Amino acid sequence: MSRIYEALQKAEAERNGDRSEDTPRTREDHGLDLDLERRGSESSAFTETLGYNSAVAVEDPELQVDALDQAPPLEHVYSPLSSLSQTPGELPTRVVGLDLETLSQRAWSPAFDRMPALLDRGPAVEQFRSLRSRIYELRDKRPLKTILITSGLPQEGKSFVSTNLAVSLARNKNARVLLIDGDMRRYTVHQVLGCDPDPGLADYLASRSPLSQVIQRCDPALSRGVTNGTGVSLPPLAVISGGNGGDKAADLSNNNRFEELIHTLSPLFDWIIVDSSPVLPVSDAVNLSRFCDGVLLVARSGVTEYENAQRTQAELKNAHLLGFVLNGAPAPTHRTEYYGYSAPSGTKEIE
């Protein structure tokens, strides 16, 4: 049994034992425990602990890395171009009906305090870099470009993970990253990034807007702010907001327009991250996962029940499950001074 399931069972036992402590956490209190597993394997691909809070106090994790050889094929995954090995400089900027260079870059007003992946140093950003590195390792073993991130139920932190993962990927070697808000019912990515909420994915899937109108590009020079006392700026992300799918979201996610979207945009980007609706209440995430190379599930410590985590995984049985992210995990207080992350002000860090 993976550490994720053990943590979920422990959290549920503690919650049942003391309901008086069942109070909601803020997003700044979230810690993350990741368990990315090769589908069909008895051993986990890797397990590590991410902690994140307002003080950015995170432990330096011990990694458990197992072999990823002989991974099962992906016959059921639609990824016609994911296997292409391209550097950012080799990526085209134009496909039929869309030229990225002609899309204007805009000033966004992000919620910088919700994006620890923007920091240059510290335990929190290092953990997202570690997650990014492991995802690159998975891609070395099999095609992986389009990653769908979802959860079993709402309020488990999937948008937080989606946004920070996209930012971390975009900061690495100037990779070209597209973040799609696939939650067309309660879309929130635009609130974190400070971009326009529509037109978005729902408008494209309903044939109300062309791709050139739903894709937004960030201008890093005009999208600056301060978090934890440090000046930061967004990388040059591209985003498709959710739009307003409403009650038609299930039908929209199940038509062939999303398949066309992925097929058209794959040559233009190194990574495509899709933040989708939760799995158990609606079918949108299962529909969208058919056209993604991998799925990352988010659970929340002390909230997600063990049975719901199992049901969520079962609903995605036909997708390539990369693993779980346990959100809201308690952040350990020891080992936070590793590599001078807690060094006093004025101390110069030596690379």
The predicted-structure confidence for 153-191, as pLDDT tens digits, reads as follows: 999 989 999 999 999 999 998 899 999 999 999 999 999
- Return the number of other C-beta atoms located less than 10 Å from residue 24's C-beta: 9
Measure the CA–CA gap between 133 and 90, rounded to whole angstroms: 21
Q: Return the pLDDT at 4.
A: 67
**Cα(144)–Cα(82) distance, rounded to whole angstroms?**
6
**Does 302 have pLDDT greater than 80?**
yes
Determine whether 140 is exposed, middle or buried from the number of CB atoms within 10 Å of its CB (0-12, 13-18, 19+). Answer: exposed
Q: Looking at the predicted structure, is the pLDDT value of residue 250 above 70? A: yes
In a domain, 131, yes or no: yes
- The answer to whether residue 119 sits within a structural domain is yes
CATH number for the domain harbouring residue 146: 3.40.50.300
Domain total in the chain: 1
Is 166 contained in some domain?
A: yes
* Cα–Cα–Cα angle for 308, 286, 133, rounded to 5 degrees: 85
Read off the pLDDT band of 59 (50, 70, 90): very low
Query: Is residue 88 a part of any domain in this protein?
Result: no
Report if residue 82 sits inside a domain. no
User: Would 79 be classed as within a structural domain?
Assistant: no
In a domain, residue 348? The reply is no
Structure tokens at 196: 């326009």
Q: Do 330 and 31 form a contact (C-beta atoms < 8 A)?
A: yes
pLDDT class for 28, splitting at 50, 70, 90? Answer: very low
pLDDT at 275: 96
Encode 25-44: b = buried (16+ Cβ within 10 Å), e = exposed: bebeebbbbbbbbbbeeeeb
The total of other beta-carbon atoms located within 10 Å of residue 48's CB is 21
Residue 296 forms part of a structural domain: yes
Expressed as residue numbers, the domain containing 178 is 3-69+94-340
Instruction: Determine the average pLDDT of the residues in 63-88.
Output: 34
- Of all residues in the chain, the percent with pLDDT exceeding 70 is 70
pLDDT value of position 314 = 94
